[in-house]
Amino acid sequence: MESCNINPMDAFCRLYSEPYPFLLDSCGCGRYSFAGANPFILIKAQNNKVEITQDSACKITTDNVFSVINATLNEFKASGTNLKHVPECLYRGSATGKHIPFQGGAVGYLGYELKNQLEQLPRKNDDTLNIPDAILGLYDTIFAYDHKINKGYVFASGLPEKDNRMKKLLAKQRMKQ
């Protein structure tokens, strides 16, 4: 974790050209805003197929997208990695950013048409826009902005590495990018 003095929109503009950027901007209504890009795993669901991309390798399955998401998240839980909180040993810089509630994990959307994965209902509309029913990225490098104290933080966890020493090295590499 490192602190910095850029705002969420500036951070997002720097990340915009990277794969799958996101900005969760509280627009002054909340305390925190978050930005990130380049997920280490990407789950994309469309037309009853789910693509799981990791390290440029893509696996396609017809499994239920909710089962795929659950299995992917459980894979990290089983390895001792908690996606809700970055392990303390992976912080870099001062520890003042520990209060930030999101320091890496899953970001994306689940579309309305996924209702058919939960219940057998007719798909009434043709897919004219060709937009995936779901996209969910697992992000290990996050920019977080605390609007209350006007301070930004960058977190890197070193995921998807499972070995703590390798996670730490990867996190340090990503902090330099």
Torsions phi, psi for 8 (to 5 deg): -60, -40
Strand order in the sheet with 134-139: 57-61, 49-54, 41-46, 134-139, 105-110
Q: Mean pLDDT throughout 156-166?
A: 80
- Answering whether pTM is above 0.95, one says no
Q: What is the mean pLDDT of the chain?
A: 82
Domain 2-120+129-176, CATH class in plain words: alpha beta
pLDDT of residue 79: 57
What SS3 class is residue 127? coil
C-alpha distances in Å from residue 106, one per residue of 58, 76, 84, 101, 127: 18, 12, 9, 13, 26
Q: CA 21, CA 113: separation in Å to the nearest integer? A: 23
Which helix (H) or strand (E) is 3 found in, with range?
A: strand 2-4
Token pair belonging to 104 = 């890496």
Mean pLDDT of all residues in 55-84: 82
pLDDT range class, residue 66, cuts 50, 70, 90:
very high
